[in-house]
Structure 1
Amino acid sequence: MNYYIITGASKGLGEAIVQSLFHEENAIIAISRTVNEKLLKEAHDNRVPLLFETEDLSVVEHLIPLMERVFQHIRLKDAQSITFIQNAGVIEPIKPVGKMDHTELVRSVNVNLLAPMILANQFVERTRSFAGKKVIVHVTSGAANRTVHGWSSYSSTKAGLERFTKTLAFEQKNESFPVQAIAFSPGIMDTDMQQTIRTSQVEDFNEVKTFQNYYEKGMLRSPQLVASKLLTLLQGNVESGKVYDIKSLLN
């Protein structure tokens, strides 16, 4: 059995990844704030085990109990592989420094950076003796390496996540049963996050017109396309520590 754990799984890219995994050799544990009933029905119709664990990843005190629940559903002795796709993320606050809401700023750091670090730490600890294939995927953004007006929190947390990913991969090199860790940048997709970006005020985000043009000109990729490219990548041998960009996977 190939186990997949996916955060932010109820919509957008997370939902598309879950749908792309509907094969009988897979078992899926979806983590999100809400349950996607449509996905549950599709999984049932395809005879694929799909379990939702509902949790708000910004509440960091809940994360270790969350992973305890997740691993109660994983039979390590029957597993061939375990893949952990940390997809959940928030774009807010979209504001210049000095105008950011404190609550949104804390939530951004918790969801985009602190939660993935805590969950990855738990994953590595709980799979240390598992000899099968183990992969952690951190969904990142091109903004990790680009200065964007109004995106100081989002860009900083994604940059931190990339460094964490590279350090994790570096540390695992000499382990008996190493975890592979990569970051994956999906580019611009037609998701709720893009809608939030498009409706920003120009004084908060001075590139808002550019992102409105992406949508109006049909330049946004579908989450289904991005999900398929990511899963194709994972079926091969990934380079642990590498940041993969969707553009390099499109032919």
Structure 2
Amino acid sequence: MPHLHLITGASRGLGHAIAEQLLQQQPGTVLLCISRHQSPALAELAAKQKSNVELIQWEQDLSNPIAAAARVREWLATQDAQRFDSATLINNAGTVGNPAPLSAAVDGDLSQALRIGLEAPMLLTAAFLGGTRDWRAARKVLNISSGLGRNAMGSQAPYCAAKAGMDQYSRAVALEEANAPNGARIVSLAPGVIDTDMQVQLRGASAEKFPARGRFEKLKSEGLLDSPASAAAKVLKYLARADFGSKPVADVRDPD
């Protein structure tokens, strides 16, 4: 039972933990990781697996989303449409940038945050859906969203906007795919608050530019952050739910 998974931002944090668990949990997995850097740890893990696991790692900068989407589209066109039982795209990559009021944003940083956080997932979703349209595989798109896409926070306008846009385009695509032959199921999923490099960035931000910094310091000091491994298990459990796609905008803490 071959399964194809494409995941962005797999070189660290939540994406890395998801990739690790996919390599260990699903024999017959083909895992395509799209990140700025390859992960030696993932390569080592894949080499140790006795099951039929294939790991492909692309070094791809998602701040150039047109090139990334073209590469995915071209690669999918080389695959046998009958090979996989399932095909899943996980849009995980994102960036909080340098937290600051929008009035103080650096133009290039602002543009890059939106390219990575919203434009890249949309283009990759378009490439994935178009490239697998005639496949026999059951198809899913999992977008890793955030509570900040649903509850605004000052000095986080780019991140909030990207995640809110991710939620809304997921709703739109769900409507489109509901009427398509072998339509894909799509969910924009909030994974909870996780102890990753993003949290380190937020705790290290200027208190003057980012008044909410204390909130993130408190989450860390009170042990309220989920580990990447624990969060990845919850995300993959949600991905495997029989009702995946019934709510295109969801949270890992939603009841079964």
Fold-level similarity (TM above 0.5):
yes
Secondary structure of 1:247's aligned partner: coil
CA distance in 1, matches of 2:209, 2:255: 33
Match of 1:71 among 72, 76, 82: 76
Secondary structure of 1:52's aligned partner: strand
1:213 aligned residue: 218
Which stretches in structure 1 are left out of the alignment for 5+ residues? Answer: none
1:134 aligned residue: 139
Secondary structure of 1:21's aligned partner: helix
Match of 1:187 among 184, 187, 192: 192
Secondary structure of 2:128's aligned partner: helix
CA distance in 2, matches of 1:162, 1:61: 21
Which stretches in structure 2 are left out of the alignment for 5+ residues? Answer: none
1:239 aligned residue: 245
Give the superposition deviation at 1:75. 3.3
Contact 1:229 1:249 in 2 (8 A): no
Which range moves more in the overlay, 55-64 or 6-15? 55-64
Secondary structure of 1:27's aligned partner: strand
1:3 aligned residue: 4
Cα gap change, 1:89/1:100 in structure 2, threshold over 3 Å: closer, same or farther?
Answer: same
Give the superposition deviation at 1:63. 2.0
Which range moves more in the overlay, 99-108 or 53-62? 53-62
Q: State the AA in 1 paired with 2:12.
A: K
TM-score, length basis structure 1: 0.95
1:157 aligned residue: 162
2:175 aligned residue: 170
Give the superposition deviation at 1:142. 0.4
Which range moves more in the overlay, 11-20 or 72-81? 72-81
Question: How many residues are paired up?
Answer: 250
Give the superposition deviation at 1:247. 2.3
Q: Is it true that 1:33 corresponds to 2:39 in the alignment?
A: no
Give the superposition deviation at 1:132. 2.1
Contact 1:10 1:34 in 2 (8 A): yes
Structural RMSD (CA):
1.6
Contact 2:73 2:131 in 1 (8 A): no
CA distance in 2, matches of 1:195, 1:75: 42
2:115 aligned residue: 110
Contact 1:139 1:185 in 2 (8 A): yes
CA distance in 1, matches of 2:170, 2:44: 34
Q: State the AA in 2 paired with 1:10.
A: S
Give the superposition deviation at 1:72. 5.7
Contact 1:170 1:241 in 2 (8 A): no
Identity %: 27
Cα gap change, 1:10/1:73 in structure 2, threshold over 3 Å: closer, same or farther?
Answer: farther
1:17-43 per-residue CA deviation (whole Å, 9 max, x = no partner) reads 011112322110001000001110101
